[in-house]
Amino acid sequence: MNNTDPLAVFRVEAQELLEQIEQGLLDLERNPQDSELVAQVFRALHTLKGSGAMFGFEALSAFTHHCETAFDKVRKGEAVATPTLIGAVLSALDHMRTLAESPDAATDGGEALLADLHKAMEGEAEAEVAVVSPAQKTWRIRFSLPADCLVNGTRPLSLLDELRGLGEADVAAVVDNVPELGALTPAECHLAWDVKLTTTQPRSAIEDVFIFVIDDMRLEIAEEPAVLSDENDKQKTAKTPAEKTVADNVTALDSARKPAAEEHVPDSATTQHHTAGETVRVPAERLDELLDQVGELMIAQSRLKQVSATNADVNLRSVAEEIERLASELRDSMMFVRMVPISQLFGRFRRLIHDLARDLGKNIEFVTEGETTELDKTVIERLADPLIHLIRNAADHGLEMPAERKAAGKPETGRVLLSARQAGAEVVISVIDDGHGLNRDKIRAKAEENGLIQPGAVLSDNEINQLIFQPGFSTAANVTSLSGRGVGMDVVKRTIDGLRGAIDVSSKPGQGSQVDLRIPLTLAIIDGLLVRVGEGRYVIPLATVEECVELTTEQDQRSTGRNFLTLRDALVPFLRLRDMFATGTDPDRYQKIVVVSTGSERVGLVVDQILGHHQTVIKPLSRFHAGVETFSGATILGDGSVALILDVLHLVAVGQQQEERLRAAG
């Protein structure tokens, strides 16, 4: 009862297919001539229809069929992927999504969507009819199947459907050979069919319908005279319901497995998570469980390491080393398994921008960069909502109306850039717009009004920018249907804080604004450098460490009050952790400086001793301590004691402030 249940597999698959279709359509909007894209959309629609019908999603399947038909025409060059058509199918997608999630949901709106779709296709269809209109002929087709045809997998309904596909068909079932009820075996077929088909297709097309039917069927195909009496017509129409009952029976055979499939529905919650790749699908919870266990293993392993270090037994030491190596490989593979490209996330926003542009009446160009950047799966999922909010803000509040832009001498089309890049142990995700930028006066006024700051308080530009993340700060002055829905920027900040990340905002009036989200690569285990400061032990994330140098006595004394270190001609500020943490002990004779960086900025951390590499399983700080910015978490060492993990980002900021103060002082 899990991922091996085909129904659960289908649910995940349907989401992926819908995503594929959406992406394909959005790409097509830009390159309507790209036949590979058309084929891709068609295939995805086709698979969705087929698999949907398989698992009892008849409404989905039937609805998808119309879109598939439209794209089949495009694929064959009989129609063009016009913006109207793409728009119609995009709107239809949402309906398909609903149907895929709850097959029994009320299907309101479906018909209107189909009407739009047909309207979009109409222009094409008319043109087609005008060009190709060979003479129509009417055929009389009579066929009967062997009694065991159902057992052998022949489906009369699909044969009839195919005939209907050729042209206008009147179908009547011939019930003459059906035995008495007592002698009737439900699995046997005693019906014959009489079909009047009006089509432009040749006789061979009709014969082809029956190509794979087992040989002993009876089939007569005869051409009818063109004129038919009305009476004859009526008679056949009257018989149609009988055929329908039969058709229903046939479908009933197919859906016999349905109740069994529905028993698994409660499990489907697990399939809400999308897993990347197409080989093995595992529910996300299992990965989390596994990761937890790997974390526990890492802690046990560091205990073993400690025990073996104080033991003279060579065998124990060698096995401890072996286990250390294996455990760290296991951890790396585990991390690798959980990493998914951020493109998964970025893809969703193209649709958002499409809708925003339409609703706001703005021209928006959406550019993404660095989609291949990888992040932990759970992190990616939690980033979705904050990013939706930021993008909405950029499009709604950031970008100006086309006329306004033109007046300001900017291109009418606004630009929203979403980029991701890796910097050290973090991924930086930026949302950049080229709109009018943050209005600091307005922000300030609003913050004063809400009592967030004292009137007349002296604030730097950056501090004012940060105000928008305060709870209770809302740009209610321009609430629209899109932004200001009660989910404020404070929620964005809270989510990012929860991921141990940080937010930077910068803005230039008239030129746009930029929001950077800095997110740690993973939430669970990191490589750390274990150091000692006074009596306490601390972990510095290894990915941020650039180098370790000695703090010579000479440097130590010279730099008192001016904590700078000349490192290969560059001035690097450094922080004395023993002062920061007020250890109250004498410094070691040979202090070390660990130089850490966050990409562009560096700072040195003075420690007493470097203890070495440590596989750090991150445990969150208690809620009481969550506000302590210097530490991002804690870890348990081999001997059971706790070491705090330094928040390098924060420390670098402190170092930079120190540098600025020094510069200001001259």
Partner 1 sequence: MASILTVDDSASIRQTIKIALGNEGHEISEAVNGVDGLQKADGGNFDLIITDLNMPEMDGLTMIRELRKKPDKAGMPILFLTTESDAGMKQQAKDAGATGWLTKPFASDQLVRIVGKVLAK
Of 209 and 594, which has the nearer Cβ to partner 1? 209
Residues in contact with partner 1, total (CB under 8 A)? 41
- Residue 248 binds partner 1 (CB under 8 A): no
Q: Which of 112, 127, 151, 269 binds partner 1 (CB under 8 A)?
A: 151
- Residue 193 binds partner 1 (CB under 8 A): no
Closest CA to 526 of 309, 290, 300, 298: 298
Q: Which of 257, 325, 406, 661 binds partner 1 (CB under 8 A)?
A: 257
Backbone angles phi, psi at 387, to 5 degrees: -70, -40
Q: Is 179 helix (H, G, I), strand (E, B) or coil?
A: coil
Taking the complex as a whole, the smallest distance from the CB of residue 374 to partner 1 amounts, in Å, to 23
Taking the complex as a whole, the smallest distance from the CB of residue 202 to partner 1 amounts, in Å, to 11
The C-alpha angle 557, 596, 554, rounded to 5 degrees, equals: 15
Q: Which of 23, 40, 344, 465 binds partner 1 (CB under 8 A)?
A: 40
8-27: which residues touch partner 1 (CB under 8 A)? 9-10, 12-13
**What is the DSSP annotation of 127-156?**
HHHHH--PPPEEEEEEEE--TTTTTTT--H
- Residue 216 binds partner 1 (CB under 8 A): no
- Residue 43 binds partner 1 (CB under 8 A): yes
- Residue 242 binds partner 1 (CB under 8 A): no
**What is the DSSP annotation of 247-307?**
HHHHHHHHGGGHHHHHTTGGGGGGGGS---SSS----HHHHHHHHHHHHHHHHHHHHHHHH
Q: Which of 47, 270, 373, 419 binds partner 1 (CB under 8 A)?
A: 47
Q: Which of 46, 137, 273, 348 binds partner 1 (CB under 8 A)?
A: 46
**What is the DSSP annotation of 314-334?**
HHHHHHHHHHHHHHHHHHHHH
- Residue 411 binds partner 1 (CB under 8 A): no
Taking the complex as a whole, the smallest distance from the CB of residue 290 to partner 1 amounts, in Å, to 22
Taking the complex as a whole, the smallest distance from the CB of residue 371 to partner 1 amounts, in Å, to 20
Taking the complex as a whole, the smallest distance from the CB of residue 148 to partner 1 amounts, in Å, to 10
- Residue 211 binds partner 1 (CB under 8 A): yes
CA dist 121 and 125 (Å) reads: 6
Of 205 and 459, which has the nearer Cβ to partner 1? 205
The H or E element spanning position 605 is: strand 602-607
Q: Which of 22, 23, 25, 51 binds partner 1 (CB under 8 A)?
A: 51
- The number of CA neighbours under 13 Å toward the Cβ of 602 is 16
- Residue 215 binds partner 1 (CB under 8 A): no
91-120: which residues touch partner 1 (CB under 8 A)? none
Query: Which residue(s) pair with 625 in the sheet?
Result: none
- Residue 7 binds partner 1 (CB under 8 A): yes
CA dist 378 and 344 (Å) reads: 12
The residue whose two tokens read 């980029």 is 419
- Residue 49 binds partner 1 (CB under 8 A): yes
Q: Which residues contact 428 (CB under 8 A, 6 or more apart)?
A: 420, 421, 422, 516, 517, 518, 519, 599
CA dist 93 and 86 (Å) reads: 10
Residues in contact with partner 1, shown as a per-residue x/- string from 163 to 182 under the rule CB under 8 A: --xx----------------
- Residue 155 binds partner 1 (CB under 8 A): yes
Stretch that binds partner 1, among 36-44, 219-227, 299-307, 456-464 (CB under 8 A): 36-44
- Residue 221 binds partner 1 (CB under 8 A): no
Of 40 and 302, which has the nearer Cβ to partner 1? 40
- Residue 403 binds partner 1 (CB under 8 A): no
Q: What are the structure tokens assigned to 204, written together? A: 């061979």
- Residue 139 binds partner 1 (CB under 8 A): no
The H or E element spanning position 447 is: helix 440-449
Q: Which of 227, 256, 403, 664 binds partner 1 (CB under 8 A)?
A: 256
Q: Which residues contact 86 (CB under 8 A, 6 or more apart)?
A: 25, 28, 29, 32
- Residue 264 binds partner 1 (CB under 8 A): no
Taking the complex as a whole, the smallest distance from the CB of residue 49 to partner 1 amounts, in Å, to 6
- Residue 376 binds partner 1 (CB under 8 A): no
CA dist 240 and 106 (Å) reads: 28
Q: Which of 54, 423, 491, 567 binds partner 1 (CB under 8 A)?
A: 54
621-650: which residues touch partner 1 (CB under 8 A)? none
Here the contacts of 10-13 (C-beta below 8 Å, separation 24 or greater) are: 10/51, 10/52, 10/54, 10/55, 10/57, 11/100, 11/268, 11/271, 12/271, 12/274, 12/275, 12/281, 13/47, 13/51
Taking the complex as a whole, the smallest distance from the CB of residue 43 to partner 1 amounts, in Å, to 5
Backbone angles phi, psi at 626, to 5 degrees: -60, -25
Taking the complex as a whole, the smallest distance from the CB of residue 173 to partner 1 amounts, in Å, to 20
Residues that bind partner 1 (CB under 8 A): 4-7, 9-10, 12-13, 40, 42-43, 46-47, 49-51, 53-55, 151-153, 155, 158, 161-162, 165-166, 205-209, 211-212, 253-254, 256-257, 278, 281
